Structure 1
Amino acid sequence: MRAKKWFAMTMSMVLSLSLFVTACSGGGGNEGTDSGKSEERLANLNQAGMPIAKEKITMTGFAAKLYASADWSKLMLWEEYEKITNVHIDWETVQIDSLKEKRNIKLAGGDYPEIFFASAFAKSDLIKYGSQGTFLKLNDLIDQNAPNFKAMMEKYPIVKKGITMPDGSIYGLPTVFDPEFISLFYGTPWMKQEWLDKLNLKPPTNLEELYNVLKAIKEGDPNGNGKNDEIPWGSKGVWIMINYLKGSFGLNKNGVANPNVDLDPDTGKLRFVPATKQYKELLEYVAKLYRDGMFDKETFTMKDTDISSKATAGVYGFLDGVDPKAIYNQEGYVGMPILEGPYGDKMATNIGSPLGNIGMFVLTDKAKNPEAAIRWMDHFYSDEGAKMFFMGFEGVTYKMTDKGEYEYLDSIAKNPDGLNLDQAVSQYLVWPGGYYPGIVKQHFFKGAEGLPSSVKNAEDAAPNSIKLDDIWPAFNFTPEEQDELTTIQTDIHTFVDEMRDKFASGALGFDQWDSYVQQLDKMNVKRYLEIYQAAYDRYTSSK
C-alpha cells in the first residue's frame, strides 16, 4: 500500500474494426464487441445475483502474484468463486518482479488476455491504451452491471473523480482503502515508551522537544547496558521522515498523493513544494538532526534487511511505519504526538488517498463477455466479496470469535510448517503482495494496520490530521499533458530527490539553495506546475 513510480510504455498494434467498436464519447460509451452484444450471449447472463452465467463461460486472465509456487488454476479462492459465478478464468500469472516486462511484451505483441487482474497499470498506460481502444471504456458497464462499485463511487466521490480521465472515460478499476478504516491513513512514528519513562521524558509536542528527546535517548543509555549503542530514530529513508514532518511546516495539506504540489495559501494556486521556503526550513531541521546523530547514519542507503536487523535488536527509540510489534517483534512502542512547527502548524499531512492504483483491473478489446467480467469483479467491492478475498473460507482459513470477529486459524496465523502469514495465506488466497483490485475493510483485513495499537495511534492523531474529505487523489492528465509531463518530470523528480539527500546529509550547504531553485527553473518546473494546475482545476470543477 505504498506509492509507486510510474513509467510509460510503448507499443503498436492494428485494431480489428470488423470485430471491435470503441466508444469515443466522453461520459458513457459503447463498450465491448459487436458479437459480444448478441442476444444469445446476453441471454446467458443473470442480471443480478449468482451465478453470473447460466451456462459456464470462460475468460482469459493475466495477473501478478507474490509467490511462484501458487498455482492459480488450483487455488481455492478461484475454484470456489467459479462454483459461485459459473465463470472460469484461464489464468496466466507472473511474479510481481517481472510484471512490467511481461505485461509490456503481451501488449506490444498483441497476445494479451481479456482481463488484466492485479496488473498495476500506471495512469499513463490507461490513458494511452484506453485512447487507442485496446482497453475498454467501463463507464456504461459500471453503471449497468457493477452495483457495488457504483454505490462506492456515489458514497465516496474521490473514487469516481480519481478514476475518471479528463475526457470522462474510465478504463480501470482500483484498489480502494475504506475511508472508515482510519488506521490505514492516520498515524505517526512510534516511540519506545519504556525508554521515555526511564529518562523521565515526556512525549515531544514540537520540533524543539523532539530534538531534545532524541538527544536524551542518544546520550542517556536508556537500555542500561553501559554502551552508547542506542539510535534515536530509525527510518527506511529520509524521505519518509520528511513526509512525517511536512505538516509541521504547513506543507501538503491535501495529502501526499501528489507529493510535489500543494496549494499556496497566499495565491490559492498550486506551488512546487520542494522549492518553497518552508521545505528549505524542513530540510535544515532534518540536516541538524543528522549532523548531531539523531537518526541512523545509514538512513540514506537503508535496505529492508538493514533496518529489520537493527529494529529486531531493539536499538531504536523512534521508528517509522506500522507498530514495531507487528514486523520487528518489539513490544512497548506508542504513537508519537503530532508536532507543532515554527509557524504554529500542527497537522499530520502524510496521508495518502483512499484510492490506490486505478489500473488493477482492466478489460481489453478481446473481452467476449464484458458484462459478465465486470460483474465478476464487482463482487469483490462488496462486504461478502471482501470477506472471501481477504479471509477465505470458514473452517479452512478462518473462524468466527465469540465477539463476532474474523480470525485466521492457527494453520494460517501459526503455521506448523513454519510458513509466515503471507506464505500460508497464499496457499488459498491471492492478496499477499499488495497487488489486487477490491476494497480493504477493517473488519476483514488482519494486517498490522488493523492492530488495536494502530487503531489507537490513528484515533490519537485524527484530531490533528487532515480530513479525508480534503485529500486529493493523484491527478489525471490528458494524453497530450501526460506525454509532455513524462518528458520533463523524470529529470525534475530525480534532481529533487538527489538534492534532498545532499541537503539533508550535509553533503551540500544551504548556501546552494538559490542555485538549486534556479536549476529547477531551467528544467521547466513552471510548465510542470501549469500541467498540474490544469489537472487540479478539472478535479475541483468535476462532480
Structure 2
Amino acid sequence: MKFKRRVSTLVASLLVIAVLAGCSGNNGNASNTPSNSGGNTGASAGNETKPAAGNLNETGMPIVKDKITIQMLTGKPPAATDWNKLMLWTEYEKMTNIHIDWVDQVPFANLAEKRNLVLAGGEYTEAFFTSQMPISDLIKYGAEGVFLPLNDLIDKYAPNLKRIFEQYPAIKKGSVMPDGKIYSFPTIVDPEFPSALTGGKIWINKQWLETLGLSEPQTIDDFYKMLKQFKEGDPNRNGKADEVPLSSYWMPGIEGYLRGSWGLGNRGAHAGNFDLDPATGKVRFIPTDKKYKEMLQFMNKLYTENLIDHNVYAVDYAKYIAEGTKGVYGAMWGVDPATTIKKDSYIGSPALEGPDGDRMYTAIAAPQLWTGGLVLTDRAKNPEALVRWIDHFYGEEGGKMFFMGFKDVTYKETADGKVEYVDEIKNNPEGLNLDQAVSKYLTWPGGGYPGIVRQKFFQGAESSPASIEATDKVKPFFPEEVWPPFSFTSEENDTFTARATDIEAYVTEMTAKFVTGKNPFSEWDKYVKTINDMGLEEYIKIFTQALDRYKNS
C-alpha cells in the first residue's frame, strides 16, 4: 500500500491524503489509459439486461438466474489495463451471472473533470465505481434523486457490510449523510490493521545509528541531535558530505508526524486542520494556535541548518526514490523503505515527546478511509443485484479474491496456510513493479475502491514486518478518538467549501514560507489576523455543527 497523495473536503486533505495513497499502490504518474467518450446511459445493444424482478437470488451464487449487464464509470490508476478484459471481472462474471460493461474508464488525472461533466450534463451511467466521489456530491445529487439511497438495500442485500456496520458503529455513522441516508459504499480499513491506518511514517537508518553510537530518539531534542550527527558525522563513511539527514516526497507528511509532539491533531488525520482544544474542549483551528507556531519554528530550525532536504516543497518523486537508492537518507517519511528504495536498514521512529511533554501519534486515519467507493444512480436497472455484487467484497472470500486474485495464477498458498503472490508478480520477469504486475489481473492499485482492507489479504508495504513493528511503536500514543470525514448539509457545504478554499490555500502557502524562512515569525500575528479576516469564525462554526451532528447521529 503506497499511501500517498489524494477527502471529502479541503480541510481533511492535509494529512489523510498520505494515508489514502496507502491502500492503493498508485505511483503518482499520470495514467495513459484512454477514456471512452460519450455518456452512455442505457444498456448496449445485444447485452442481456433484464429486470431484477424474479431474476434475483437473494443468497448464494449466482446472484441472478439469467445474465444481466450493468454499465459503470470507473476511475483507473496509471498501471491499469482494460477492465473489460481483466481476469478479476471475467471470473467474477462467471460466479455472479452479472456482466459489468466498463463504458468509461477514466484516468485518475482526468477523473474529477469527467465525473463533473457527466453529472452536470445528465449523461451518467448506472453506477460510479472508484470514482473518488466527494461527500459534497453525494449530498447534492442524493438530494436531487440522482444517487439512490442505500439504507434499505444494504439492510436487506448487503450482509457483509451490515455486519461491519454493526461491529463498528462509527463506520456506519461516517457513512450517513445529514439527511440520514447512505449514498455510497465506502473504502474501509480493518480497525485491526492499524499499520494501514497510519500510512506514512518517519523511518530512521539503523545502520547510521549504530555507526555513530546513537540510540533511537525519544524526544524532539533527541531527534534534532540525531539529524545533526547524520549531517556532520559522515555516517556512511565515504568521506563525503553527501548525507541528507531528513527527506520526504511530501512535506506535510513530516509535519503530520511532528504534530503530536506539540499536542496538535488530537482527533486524527481526517480532521485535517481541526481538532479539540484541550483547554476549552471546543473545536480548534490548528494553524492559528501558538503551539503550531512553535512546531513551525522547530521545522524552520531543521530547514535553516540543512537538516531537511531543501527539495521537499518541489520534489520529483522519481528523483526522490533514485536518491534514496544511493543510501544517502538518514531519515525519511513514507512507507517501508524496503518497498520503495529497496533498503532494509530502516526502522520506524517512535512517537517523539515534545518540549511541553506532549507525546502523541496523530497521523492516523479513521477506518472509514473513503466514503464514495461505489455510487448507484437512478438509472440502475438492477440495484438489488448490484448491491449483492459489491457486498461480496466486504466478506472474507470476496476480499481474498479482490486483493489476492486466483490460486496458482496470482497467488499461492504456503505450508502454514497463508497466501502470497506468485513470483510473476513479486519478481516480474519483464521488470514490472508490483502495481503494474498486479494490474494485469486485479484492480486494487490506485485506491478508492469499495471494500475492506484486511491485513491477511493485503500484501502492500503496510503489511511488511517492518511496518507492523513501526506501528507497534507508535500505537500506545494514538489519540483517544479519531474522527471520520464529516458531512455537511447543502447549505453548509457551499459556505464551508468557499472558506476552506481560501483559508487552507493561505495556510499551505504561509506554512511553507515560515518553514523555509521566506516569511519571518515576527509576522505571525499578521498571518493569524489574515486567517480570521477570511472568515475563520464561520469556518469553525460549520465544522462544529458537523461534529455535533456526528455525535448525535
Query: Are 1:119 and 2:138 matched, yes or no?
Result: no
SS in 1 for 2:415: coil
Which residue does the alignment assign to 1:339? Answer: 352
Which residue does the alignment assign to 1:330? Answer: 343
Q: Mark the runs of 5 or more structure 1 residues left unpaired by the alignment.
A: 9-38
Which residue does the alignment assign to 2:492? Answer: 481
Query: Are 1:149 and 2:153 matched, yes or no?
Result: no
Query: Are 1:423 and 2:420 matched, yes or no?
Result: no
Query: Are 1:81 and 2:85 matched, yes or no?
Result: no
Query: Are 1:412 and 2:425 matched, yes or no?
Result: yes
Which residue does the alignment assign to 1:205? Answer: 218
Query: Are 1:381 and 2:383 matched, yes or no?
Result: no
Which residue does the alignment assign to 2:190? Answer: 178
Query: Are 1:239 and 2:239 matched, yes or no?
Result: no
Identity %: 50
SS in 2 for 1:211: helix
Please say if residues 65 and 435 of structure 1, whose CA atoms lie closer than 8 Å, have aligned partners that are also in contact: no
Q: CA deviation at 1:42?
A: 2.6
Which residue does the alignment assign to 1:276? Answer: 289
Scaled by the length of structure 1, the TM-score of the pair is 0.91
SS in 2 for 1:299: coil
**Structure 1 residues 3 and 312: alpha-carbon distance in aligned structure 2, compared to 1, 3 A threshold:** closer
Please say if residues 233 and 319 of structure 1, whose CA atoms lie closer than 8 Å, have aligned partners that are also in contact: yes
Please list, as runs of the form range in 1=range in 2, the aligned pairs for 1:257-272 lying within 5 A after superposition. 257-272=270-285
Which residue does the alignment assign to 1:296? Answer: 309
Scaled by the length of structure 2, the TM-score of the pair is 0.90
Q: CA deviation at 1:85?
A: 0.7
Q: How many residues align?
A: 510
Please say if residues 67 and 426 of structure 1, whose CA atoms lie closer than 8 Å, have aligned partners that are also in contact: no
Which deviations, in whole Å up to 9, do the C-alpha atoms of 1:444-480 show, x marking residues without a partner? Answer: 111010001111111122122235xx11001111110
**Structure 1 residues 68 and 236: alpha-carbon distance in aligned structure 2, compared to 1, 3 A threshold:** closer
**Structure 1 residues 159 and 2: alpha-carbon distance in aligned structure 2, compared to 1, 3 A threshold:** farther
Which residue does the alignment assign to 2:39? Answer: none
Which residue does the alignment assign to 2:174? Answer: 162
User: Which 4+ stretches in 1 moved above 4 angstroms?
Assistant: 5-8
The one of 3, 6, 18 aligned to 1:4 = 6
Q: CA deviation at 1:97?
A: 1.6
Which deviations, in whole Å up to 9, do the C-alpha atoms of 1:269-323 show, x marking residues without a partner? Answer: 1011100011011001111111111110111212212311211111110011111
Letter of the 1:433 partner, please give it. G
SS in 1 for 2:272: coil
User: In 2, distance between residues paired with 1:214 and 1:273?
Assistant: 26
Q: CA deviation at 1:531?
A: 0.1
SS in 1 for 2:280: coil
The one of 36, 43, 60 aligned to 1:49 = 60
Which deviations, in whole Å up to 9, do the C-alpha atoms of 1:112-135 show, x marking residues without a partner? Answer: 111111111011111111111111
SS in 2 for 1:290: helix
User: In 1, distance between residues paired with 2:216 and 2:51?
Assistant: 68
**Structure 1 residues 368 and 118: alpha-carbon distance in aligned structure 2, compared to 1, 3 A threshold:** same
User: In 2, distance between residues paired with 1:496 and 1:162?
Assistant: 27
User: In 1, distance between residues paired with 2:77 and 2:251?
Assistant: 27
Q: CA deviation at 1:492?
A: 0.4
The one of 491, 497, 514 aligned to 2:525 = 514
User: In 1, distance between residues paired with 2:472 and 2:532?
Assistant: 41
**Structure 1 residues 88 and 505: alpha-carbon distance in aligned structure 2, compared to 1, 3 A threshold:** same
Q: CA deviation at 1:49?
A: 1.2
**Structure 1 residues 69 and 270: alpha-carbon distance in aligned structure 2, compared to 1, 3 A threshold:** closer
User: In 2, distance between residues paired with 1:49 and 1:418?
Assistant: 40
Q: CA deviation at 1:7?
A: 7.7
Letter of the 1:396 partner, please give it. V
**Structure 1 residues 49 and 480: alpha-carbon distance in aligned structure 2, compared to 1, 3 A threshold:** same
User: In 1, distance between residues paired with 2:380 and 2:320?
Assistant: 45
The one of 59, 65, 71 aligned to 1:60 = 71
Please say if residues 348 and 464 of structure 1, whose CA atoms lie closer than 8 Å, have aligned partners that are also in contact: yes
Q: CA deviation at 1:96?
A: 1.6
Please identify, of 430-439 and 239-248, the stretch whose mean Cα deviation from structure 2 is larger.
430-439
**Structure 1 residues 430 and 69: alpha-carbon distance in aligned structure 2, compared to 1, 3 A threshold:** closer
User: In 2, distance between residues paired with 1:316 and 1:146?
Assistant: 47
